[in-house]
Amino acid sequence: MSFGDPNNPYGQQPPQGQPNPYGQPQGQPQQPGYGYPQQGPPQQPGYGYPQAPPVQPYGAAGFPQAPTSMPGLMTAARVLLFIIGGLQVLVGIIAGIAIAAASDAVDSDAATGLAGLGFIVVFILLAFAGLAIFLGVKFSNGGTAIRVITIVYASLMILGSLFNFASGQSSGVVGGLVSLSIGGIILAAMVNSQASAWFNRPRY
């Protein structure tokens, strides 16, 4: 089948869409398809649950992740608080019984005054014992206030040990060494980074 002279502008032209045997096909040039550009559609993520982000070693805002269990130093300080609280209760009860017995044995105004002063000391000792036990109990869910009160308590223990040293008696020196050791351990446990992370951890 002939389409005439290709150089003749008035000759028969091939229909639209038919290839021209003498050159490029007639008709409109092919347009790119609508939608995605020629480089192909972007890669879609796989179906199902989105991929979880990698586990970060730090918590929110870049701070170290909060501990989920009580650190060893906190546990040691807690045990020492229970021990010192129990000892103070025991000493307070024994001292109270001794003061009451002495007051009954000696019936005088001076003995009564000394007995009253002794009972005040016993009351203070029992109050410190109750505070130590209370702080030990609150270590599990207490906040910054418990940490601050524990620091004050340990500082008072250290101060009391210095007064025992100043007494010069052998029993006072021994008691001062014990108080200084326990108070120093508790204070050191409260002022480190582990204590800060434990008492400032989020609670839900």
DSSP class per residue in 90-147 = HHHHHHHHHHHHHHHHS-SHHHHHHHHHHHHHHHHHHHHHHHHHHHHHHTTT--HHHH
Residue 191 pLDDT greater than 80, yes or no: yes
Residue (of 159, 158, 146) closest to 190 by Cα position: 146
Residues sharing a CB contact under 8 Å with residue 2, sequence separation 6 or more, in sequence order: none
- Cα first-last separation, the chain: 88
pLDDT tens string 120-145: 989 999 999 999 999 999 998 888 99
Tokens of 113: 């005054």
Specify the pLDDT at position 128: 92
pTM for the predicted model, two decimal places? 0.62
Q: Give the pLDDT band of residue 104 (cuts 50, 70, 90).
A: confident
Q: If you search the block for the tokens 């130590």, which residue do you land on?
A: 132
Specify the pLDDT at position 126: 93
pLDDT tens string 134-180: 999 999 888 899 999 999 999 999 998 888 777 666 666 777 888 88
